[in-house]
């Protein structure tokens, strides 16, 4: 771009100097103009080449950005998969712990129920034995009122 501006300035300077000095157009002026036109064509060609090279590079950059975008999409998909797996695992853990704790409460309830049902006959038998023991104590106290040996034995044992 700079070289184009420089060439235009040179052409302007040369044309103004040529007009001011001599108004006639000579062969050397014609040759000089041909050289300038060729230089200008070469400069334009170089600018066009640079433009095409720049466009090609921009296309390459665009392709790289597309590849990067695709890679980011793949990473996003992987994150979504990991998130779904984590959610599934969390749900499984919640259900697992819920089942485990429910089972523990059922087991505690069963143990309490079983203990009551298992102890009920023993409690009944103990009450029967206590009742019989009370009856025997009363009977012995009645016998002790009539027999001094029995009375002495009950005092010795601590029942009287």
Task: Render pLDDT for 19-42 as a digit per residue (tens, 0 to 9).
Answer: 444 557 899 999 999 999 999 999
Question: What is the domain range of residue 31?
Answer: 2-157
Are 7 and 36 in contact, with CB atoms under 8 Å apart?
yes
| Distance from C-alpha of 73 to C-alpha of 70, rounded to nearest angstrom | 5
d(CA 84, CA 73): 16
- What residues contact 10, with CB distance under 8 A and at least 6 apart? 36
- List, for residues 94-141, the tens digit of each pLDDT value: 999 999 999 999 999 999 898 888 888 888 999 999 999 998 888 888
- The pLDDT of residue 47: 94
pTM of the model: 0.39
Residue 42 is classified by DSSP as H
User: Residue 17's pLDDT band (boundaries 50, 70, 90)?
Assistant: low
d(CA 23, CA 25): 7
Task: Count up the domains in the chain and report the number.
Answer: 1
């Amino acid at each position: 771009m700079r070289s184009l501006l420089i060439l235009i300035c040179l052409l302007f300077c040369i044309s103004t100097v040529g007009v001011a000095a001599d108004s006639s157009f000579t062969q050397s002026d014609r040759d000089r103009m041909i050289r300038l036109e060729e230089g200008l064509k070469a400069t334009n060609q170089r600018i066009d080449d640079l433009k095409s090279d720049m466009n090609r590079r921009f296309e390459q950059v665009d392709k790289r950005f597309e590849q990067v975008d695709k890679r980011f999409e793949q990473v996003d998909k992987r994150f979504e998969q990991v998130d779904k797996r984590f959610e599934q695992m969390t749900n499984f853990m919640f259900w697992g712990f819920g089942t485990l704790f429910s089972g523990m409460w059922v087991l505690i309830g069963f143990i309490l129920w079983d203990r009551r049902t298992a102890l009920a006959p023993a409690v009944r038998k103990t009450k029967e034995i206590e009742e019989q023991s009370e009856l025997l104590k009363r009977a012995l106290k009645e016998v002790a009122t009539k027999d001094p040996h029995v009375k002495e034995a009950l005092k010795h044992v601590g029942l009287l």
